[in-house]
Structure 1
Amino acid sequence: MSGHYYSVTIAVKGRELEFPKKSVDYVIVYLSNNRFEMKISSNIGCLASLKVLDLSNNNLIGQVPFVLGNLSEFESLDLSWNQLTGEIPRSLADLTFLGFLNLSQNHLVGPIPSGTQFSTFFTSFEVNPELCSLLLPKKCEHPLEPQTEVDGDGDGDDENGFT
């Protein structure tokens, strides 16, 4: 079926996402409401056709992989209701096609990166008491410094259930 196009409407979290004239290489990963207790592998950044990723309502740990920002046509990301820690990768703020983002109900810290449409995701960062921004009750004490992003968590072990 390669090279053929189709259109589809998908309901995600009560919101309908329309995808007109999409080719069959469009990938949606919806693994919400499972009991995953692992880190998100940086290998997920190799899925060039990934458009929608929903890993909400699990027990995922570790940091949000900065390689998600390499998915230039990424449209929807939901990592809410997990146990994720660390800062929000600056690379996510550079995604121009990102139309839905939810990182709420985690343990994220630091400033929310600015750029593209991040300022329109008003409720995407709720219940992360250590996040700071002009949009949140907690204001940042220091100006945003550039993040040094490393591959994964530095332990060199990307082997987990997502590889």
Structure 2
Amino acid sequence: MSNFDLYRPCVPAASWRDSLFCFIDPNPPTPQEFPTVCGEILMDFSKDVTKLGCSLLELLSEGLDLDHCHLNDMDCAKGLSVLSNYYPSCPQPELTMGTIQHSDGDFFTVLLQDEIGGLQVLHQNQWVNVPPIPGALIVNIGDFLQVKSLFF
């Protein structure tokens, strides 16, 4: 997909990116359903990301003062989607943005940032840059986990 934000009202600029989005779990596609260049890689990557997700759920459970298996036992590890964004250089960057302001509506997001940067988070009503750290993963707590944690 590319620039689907152009079809939404009140979007101040074009989203200058190309994206590959797919649902991996619970019904994984076959590698043949992906572009040839990434099918096998994406399936292997998904297995590793699922392991990482289960580990993060254990840590989050403990952080919420629950048994370390609590979130995994609730099937919170079920459901995986992968979104890969490519941000090509733009001849008129003042007319574009990488993505529009949004929140992550899911449980959590694991992000691998490139060395270029550009990621921002809203902190105390101010947009703050998140500088890239080589090899680091960013874990963003999504809306669903924030709401769910109110009930633990």
Q: TM-score scaled by structure 1?
A: 0.24
Query: Which structure has the larger Rg?
Result: 2
Higher relative contact order (CA 8 A, sep 6+): 2
Q: TM-score scaled by structure 2?
A: 0.25
Q: More helix by proportion, 1 or 2? A: 2
